[in-house]
Structure 1
Amino acid sequence: MNTPTTVLDKQAPATVPVRERLAVIGNGMAGCRAVEEILARDPDRFDVTIFGAEPRVNYNRIMLSPVLAGEKAFEDIVINGPEWYADNAITLVSGDPVVSIDRDTRTLATRSGRIEPYDRLLIATGSDPFIIPVPGHDLDGVVTFRDLDDVGRMLAAADKGGSAVVIGGGLLGLEAAHGLALRGMKVTVVHIMPTLMERQLDEAAGFLLKSELERRGQAIVTGGDTAEITGANGHVTGVKLKDGREFPADIVVMAVGIRPATGLARAAGLAVERGIVVDDHMVTSDPAIMAVGECVQHRGQCYGLVAPLWDMCRALAHNACRDEGACEQPTGYTGSVTSTKLKVSGIDLFSAGDFSGADGAEDIVMRDAARGIYKRVVVRDNRLVGAVLYGDTADGSWYFDLLKKGEDISPIREALIFGQAFASGGPSLDPNAAVAALSDDAEICGCNGVSKGQVVASIKGGACSLDAVRSTCKASASCGSCTGFVESLLAITLGDEVQSGPKTLCKCTSFGHDDVRRLILEKNLKAIPQVMQELHWRTPDGCASCRPALNYYLLCAWPGVYEDDQKSRFVNERMHANIQKDGTYSVVPRMWGGLTNPKELRAIADVVEKYNAPMVKVTGGQRLDIFGIKKEDLPAVWADLNAAGMVSGHAYGKSLRTVKTCVGSEWCRFGTQDSTGLGVKLERMTWGSWMPHKFKIAVSGCPRNCAEATIKDFGVVCVDSGYELHVGGNGGIKVRATDLLCKVATEAEAMDVCAAFIQLYREQAHYLERTAPWIERVGLDHVKAGLFDDPDRVTQLAARFRHSQLFCQEDPWAERAAGAHSELHQHLAEVRPLQMEQA
């Protein structure tokens, strides 16, 4: 079936000077960036038509990995939307690839038969993925990783679950493996070389990377030579190595390398070797034809990374916009020194230059095994020629700058391995000092080829915020790894004049969290599409940041009216289980207040045996966590547990997690109150309550605080005179002790204040804001005023909370699983009448 053709035609003025016709073959990053550079120099010189093989606008191909991983949507990686083509009078012909070039008539032809004349032609066809010609390489389910369609095929496979084999342990292969693993597939990476990313990493860094990926659940096979891709009924079933090992696969991703796409140029008679041969101005053997990007060969080199493309585009535009006969000689492209970063969350890796250890090179190495840090710099003739950083890449830009300039490092030789701060005379207390010391031509944003000087010029030109910088010079607009550098430059350049402004909910809207919540109520908005329409959302369907937030805000504003949108929840909330690094799930049945009984324990034991769960662990919240449950088994697991009266733990949702207790006065000789009984009552009252973030409660039976109530979101410490109520604790990465909220005399008062505090938090906090940062943001006095300034306030808030609970305490897995309805509703029959009476 032919791909539909999209043509965005330019709107030319009635009378304009005759322009040269510039045809561009390739709507990718290199072709469009070259056009951008030309427009920046001489916007009226060319009449531009761009031909793209894909049926879409120009997007950031290097950000396909975050799209596969679910961290970004396609809309987030678009570089030039339809408005860019229209604003610059560019005709875009998409989904209709060029099939031939006639140099004699200076025309080109597309697959649909369109003939386009040109005065100047730019070839930016990029590269083609290399397919290993082993048996089975053409089976259905064998895919590459080069464009959005490839991502779509991988996502379709991941939706079905199963196993994936990625052939190739380079940048693209590892990023593909990371994305598929996050999507729940069991992933095996097969790499023919003994070291992952051997072109960018030495053996030590490669080992650290392999160990970390294996720790995350991926199987990494180095030194693995593929012999055959096996299949059945035309579809892939596995990968067989030459040593006899076999790995099952529902999808095989070929990521073994790329080749310059030279077919069109070769057929047109242009000089082609490994790539299309170009000079320093990106001109081919035909003076009317230029070429740029991964398809070209310059001074014997072909480049597969993005940074050299930007240098090529600048040289091309400088020459293309030069008037004939001008005395000025354009600056040519002389080649690039490249650097590499791996786009896998939680792995910091940087590599640049030559680290092969050739004659005359000196290695300086630092290892910190406890922190997983490895640094190696290579020096030759007192010049930095290579660097490999793993675990701490903060000085990557500084090393890269030294490497490109070839400066004499003798004065800082002894401190070089410790980074810029030490090499400059000792650690600086100013976090911006390292960025300030960079030269103006130091690269800040590798994705878009933006230097420090360009960022500063953008700021001085009026870009007073991070978003403004992104929109003007594109620094930090792609992968975001340079955001810290850009923020430092804003602080250095503007000082107190930096415009932070109110933080918007996300890039889809100009409204902040508080405004969105207020307008949902004021405008009586009761559906996500209605909110987006009324509040002028910039995207058609929102994004991964705003949809879960809107779903929660609507659920909180209209309990019982708004229907929870499961698709707008994170995967752990949808599954009522936590996805683990190997693609399986862990399940935490709810045990009220940490109590259990023989029936429940037998049910858990039966589930563990029946579904072959490899591990059961006691959690910090006094529950049993069952690991290794397959996604397809989750409904049946919950049905079996429901048969014993155990509902979903909501243990990984933005909701109440658990209520931790000690044994209290019933058993402990120090206990002053029945902490276990109160804990059970609090958990029965609050379970299933959706919240802005996870929420934990604990009840300690005496000031010895065995249940750790003073690091929970809501903590009760029993004393002789009653109950101390604490709020805003956090025992995570940043430990925060609770603030004392109040003291009450009875259990009923403690439960009312708990319900009221939760409701105030639910109605005021931002989505994904825990109680600790919420209280730090608004202040404890604000919270106390919201609860106690009006004598009826606690009663009102508690009533609203209990009313909303009537529509929250459900178990979706129980609803879906056969035979589970009666047990669930029997339990709800015990809980809801009490709530109705209290409400």
Structure 2
Amino acid sequence: MSANDEHLVIVGNGMAGHRLLERVLAHPHRPRHITILGDEPETAYNRILLSPWLAGEMDRSALTLRERDWYTAQGVTLIAGERATAIDRRCRTLTTDQGRRLAYDRLVLATGSRAARPSVTGSDLDGIHAFRDLEDGERLASLADAGGRAVVIGGGLLGLEAAEGMRKRGMTVSVVHRATHLMNRQLDATAAGMLAAELRARGLEIHTGADLAAYAPNADGQRATGVVLSDGTTLAADCVVAAIGIVPNTSLAERAGLTTARGIQVDAFMTTSDPHISALGECCEFEGTTYGLIEPIWRQVEVLAARLCGDTPEPYRERPCATKLKVSGISLYAFGPITPAPEHDVLTYHDPQHGDYRRLLLRDGRLEGAVLYGDTAAGPWYFQCALAGHDLSAGRQALLFGEHDAQPLLDTPDTLSEEAA
């Protein structure tokens, strides 16, 4: 059977599954038959925009990636609102919770992830919410529109975006973060302090270095009405949001006997332990790494799409990723290590009056990490410099002032500017 005659089934119509579908459809040797299955009733939507949508900065329609008639026009069978429950690897069939049975030649698992929950007393109470999908967003928006108090557990990217979105809808919001500063995986203490000061000025209550001890129940012990911290402090809440991380959805793969650890294990071509089944995105694990950012998932998609259409692509490899925060009016950009090593050359610029901060980490003249707050225009250029691995020693004195000042002093190609753009 040629690739053109195969039936490709994609489980998961989130951003990873949809991106893969579009890349496969653009290939001249796309599989003849394609079915995409999603357990949400909606067509694919942009989850990255959930945060600005929750904040009231855009309409719901702006999230939609494709309407239903697009799938029909592309010759793709869309099955929305059904969950895949079982895979028969010997017969190469997939069964859904509606009793539907699909035969496949190639199967892709893009089942995503679910929100992690702190393992503390009361974690099974009602009233503890996540912020992972459109249903979560709609629920939080409705609660926020009613006013009252919210507590968000987790001061990372998603937690801060959820907190600010709910605050903008009218809630009083407290953020509880275990580490000593916000976004501790991406920011150093100085940038995090500037971020916390800005968020406090907007009205958010920030509690760092705060351990969650338990959820506080209501009188009948059924619903969370706040949180208790390890120092005994109780924060009352009409709504609690847990945003401490994600857990890959591996249950379907596990039931099918595929090799899993933290995620569904794949090789450099996104193939699982079954050669007819692939996985990508937040549900997969490659060389011990699982995923929560878009950039590596998009590179996985390119590899897998080519493979499914009969090409021989370059294998997937890990690369550094840059981080941005999707909160209106706050600009930050970071990549690479947070804590300087003894051998790092640390360059720092701090202008508290204008709210600008930059810290660069260089090793042997090569940029390895950067934290920018305020003016982040040079961030993509720094990132491309780091990826290229060029020796930037000649421009060291001007590096903190960005590309315009540093590039003329360097022996690096001007194509860095084009890549950064």
Give the TM interval when normalised to the shorter protein. over 0.9
CA displacement, residues 419-461 of structure 1 (integer Å, 9 cap, x when unaligned)? 00101239xxxxxxxxx955487365xxxxxxxxxxxxxxxxx
Q: Which residue of 1 aligns with 2:74?
A: 88
Q: Does 1:283 align with 2:271?
A: yes
Structure 1 residue corresponding to 2:31, chosen from 39, 45, 51: 45
The 5 Å alignment of 1:95-106 reads 95-106=81-92
Q: Does 1:272 align with 2:249?
A: no
How far the C-alpha of 1:231 sits from its partner, in A, is 2.3
Structure 1 residue corresponding to 2:356, chosen from 368, 373, 377: 373
How far the C-alpha of 1:136 sits from its partner, in A, is 2.1
Partner amino acid, structure 1, of 2:346: D
Looking at structure 2, the residues matched to 303 and 155 of structure 1 have their Cα atoms a distance apart, in angstroms, of 27
Contact 1:318 1:331 in 2 (8 A): no
Contact 1:238 1:249 in 2 (8 A): yes
Q: Which residue of 2 aligns with 1:210?
A: 196
Q: Which residue of 2 aligns with 1:354?
A: 337
Structure 2 residue corresponding to 1:409, chosen from 378, 388, 392: 392
SS state at 1:59 partner: coil
Partner amino acid, structure 1, of 2:195: L
Looking at structure 1, the residues matched to 80 and 285 of structure 2 have their Cα atoms a distance apart, in angstroms, of 26
The 5 Å alignment of 1:627-646 reads none
SS state at 2:334 partner: strand
| Of 38-47 and 49-58, the range deviating more from structure 2 | 38-47
How far the C-alpha of 1:43 sits from its partner, in A, is 5.3
Looking at structure 2, the residues matched to 42 and 227 of structure 1 have their Cα atoms a distance apart, in angstroms, of 56
SS state at 1:281 partner: coil
Looking at structure 2, the residues matched to 367 and 440 of structure 1 have their Cα atoms a distance apart, in angstroms, of 25
Q: Which residue of 1 aligns with 2:288?
A: 300
Structure with greater helix percent: 1
SS state at 1:375 partner: strand
Partner amino acid, structure 2, of 1:159: D
Contact 1:350 1:390 in 2 (8 A): yes
CA gap of 1:159–1:315, structure 2 versus 1, over 3 A, is same
Q: Does 1:119 align with 2:105?
A: yes
How far the C-alpha of 1:285 sits from its partner, in A, is 1.1
Q: Does 1:68 align with 2:51?
A: no
How far the C-alpha of 1:44 sits from its partner, in A, is 4.0
Q: Which residue of 2 aligns with 1:235?
A: 223
How far the C-alpha of 1:270 sits from its partner, in A, is 1.1
CA gap of 1:359–1:302, structure 2 versus 1, over 3 A, is farther
Looking at structure 1, the residues matched to 72 and 346 of structure 2 have their Cα atoms a distance apart, in angstroms, of 53
CA gap of 1:438–1:390, structure 2 versus 1, over 3 A, is farther
Q: Which residue of 2 aligns with 1:172?
A: 158
How far the C-alpha of 1:363 sits from its partner, in A, is 1.0
Partner amino acid, structure 2, of 1:239: V
Contact 1:398 1:438 in 2 (8 A): no
Q: Which residue of 2 aligns with 1:343?
A: 326
Contact 2:106 2:277 in 1 (8 A): yes
Q: How many residues align?
A: 415
CA gap of 1:294–1:443, structure 2 versus 1, over 3 A, is farther
Looking at structure 2, the residues matched to 50 and 362 of structure 1 have their Cα atoms a distance apart, in angstroms, of 49
The 5 Å alignment of 1:578-593 reads none
How far the C-alpha of 1:81 sits from its partner, in A, is 2.0
Q: Does 1:225 align with 2:200?
A: no
CA displacement, residues 467-514 of structure 1 (integer Å, 9 cap, x when unaligned)? xxxxxxxxxxxxxxxxxxxxxxxxxxxxxxxxxxxxxxxxxxxxxxxx
Looking at structure 2, the residues matched to 46 and 266 of structure 1 have their Cα atoms a distance apart, in angstroms, of 29
SS state at 1:84 partner: helix
Looking at structure 2, the residues matched to 193 and 265 of structure 1 have their Cα atoms a distance apart, in angstroms, of 34
Contact 1:351 1:388 in 2 (8 A): yes
How far the C-alpha of 1:303 sits from its partner, in A, is 1.7
Contact 1:52 1:96 in 2 (8 A): yes
Partner amino acid, structure 1, of 2:287: R
Q: Which residue of 1 aligns with 2:298?
A: 310
CA gap of 1:266–1:297, structure 2 versus 1, over 3 A, is same
Q: Which residue of 1 aligns with 2:374?
A: 391
How far the C-alpha of 1:153 sits from its partner, in A, is 1.1
SS state at 2:282 partner: coil
Structure 1 residue corresponding to 2:10, chosen from 11, 20, 24: 24
How far the C-alpha of 1:109 sits from its partner, in A, is 0.7
Partner amino acid, structure 1, of 2:419: A
Looking at structure 2, the residues matched to 296 and 404 of structure 1 have their Cα atoms a distance apart, in angstroms, of 24
Structure 2 residue corresponding to 1:400, chosen from 347, 361, 383: 383
The 5 Å alignment of 1:814-833 reads none
CA gap of 1:84–1:358, structure 2 versus 1, over 3 A, is farther
CA displacement, residues 114-138 of structure 1 (integer Å, 9 cap, x when unaligned)? 1111000000011111011222223
Looking at structure 1, the residues matched to 30 and 325 of structure 2 have their Cα atoms a distance apart, in angstroms, of 39
SS state at 1:442 partner: helix
| Superposed CA RMSD | 1.8
Contact 1:195 1:207 in 2 (8 A): yes
Partner amino acid, structure 2, of 1:283: T
Partner amino acid, structure 2, of 1:186: T
Q: Which residue of 2 aligns with 1:623?
A: none
Scaled by the length of structure 1, the TM-score of the pair is 0.48
The 5 Å alignment of 1:100-179 reads 100-179=86-165
Partner amino acid, structure 1, of 2:199: L
Q: Which residue of 1 aligns with 2:419?
A: 442
Scaled by the length of structure 2, the TM-score of the pair is 0.95
CA displacement, residues 82-106 of structure 1 (integer Å, 9 cap, x when unaligned)? 2331221111111111011111110
| Of 162-171 and 234-243, the range deviating more from structure 2 | 234-243
Contact 2:4 2:29 in 1 (8 A): no
Looking at structure 1, the residues matched to 32 and 386 of structure 2 have their Cα atoms a distance apart, in angstroms, of 37
Q: Does 1:54 align with 2:5?
A: no
Unaligned runs of 5+ in 2: none
Contact 1:165 1:249 in 2 (8 A): yes
SS state at 1:425 partner: helix
Structure with greater strand percent: 2
CA gap of 1:335–1:18, structure 2 versus 1, over 3 A, is closer
SS state at 1:239 partner: strand
SS state at 2:65 partner: strand
Looking at structure 2, the residues matched to 276 and 160 of structure 1 have their Cα atoms a distance apart, in angstroms, of 40
Looking at structure 1, the residues matched to 301 and 418 of structure 2 have their Cα atoms a distance apart, in angstroms, of 17
Contact 2:23 2:305 in 1 (8 A): yes
SS state at 1:121 partner: strand
Looking at structure 2, the residues matched to 249 and 119 of structure 1 have their Cα atoms a distance apart, in angstroms, of 50
Contact 1:28 1:59 in 2 (8 A): yes
Looking at structure 1, the residues matched to 384 and 200 of structure 2 have their Cα atoms a distance apart, in angstroms, of 33
CA gap of 1:335–1:443, structure 2 versus 1, over 3 A, is farther
Q: Which runs of 4+ in 1 moved over 6 A?
A: none
The 5 Å alignment of 1:431-470 reads 437-439=414-416, 442=419
The 5 Å alignment of 1:503-542 reads none
Contact 2:29 2:310 in 1 (8 A): no
CA displacement, residues 563-590 of structure 1 (integer Å, 9 cap, x when unaligned)? xxxxxxxxxxxxxxxxxxxxxxxxxxxx
Greater CA radius of gyration, 1 or 2? 1
Looking at structure 2, the residues matched to 18 and 356 of structure 1 have their Cα atoms a distance apart, in angstroms, of 50
CA displacement, residues 794-821 of structure 1 (integer Å, 9 cap, x when unaligned)? xxxxxxxxxxxxxxxxxxxxxxxxxxxx
Higher RCO (CA < 8 A, seq sep 6+)? 2
SS state at 2:197 partner: helix
How far the C-alpha of 1:159 sits from its partner, in A, is 2.2
How far the C-alpha of 1:277 sits from its partner, in A, is 1.2
Looking at structure 2, the residues matched to 301 and 361 of structure 1 have their Cα atoms a distance apart, in angstroms, of 25
Looking at structure 2, the residues matched to 320 and 348 of structure 1 have their Cα atoms a distance apart, in angstroms, of 39
Partner amino acid, structure 2, of 1:52: G
Q: Which residue of 1 aligns with 2:233?
A: 245
Residue identity over aligned pairs, in percent, reads 47
How far the C-alpha of 1:278 sits from its partner, in A, is 1.0
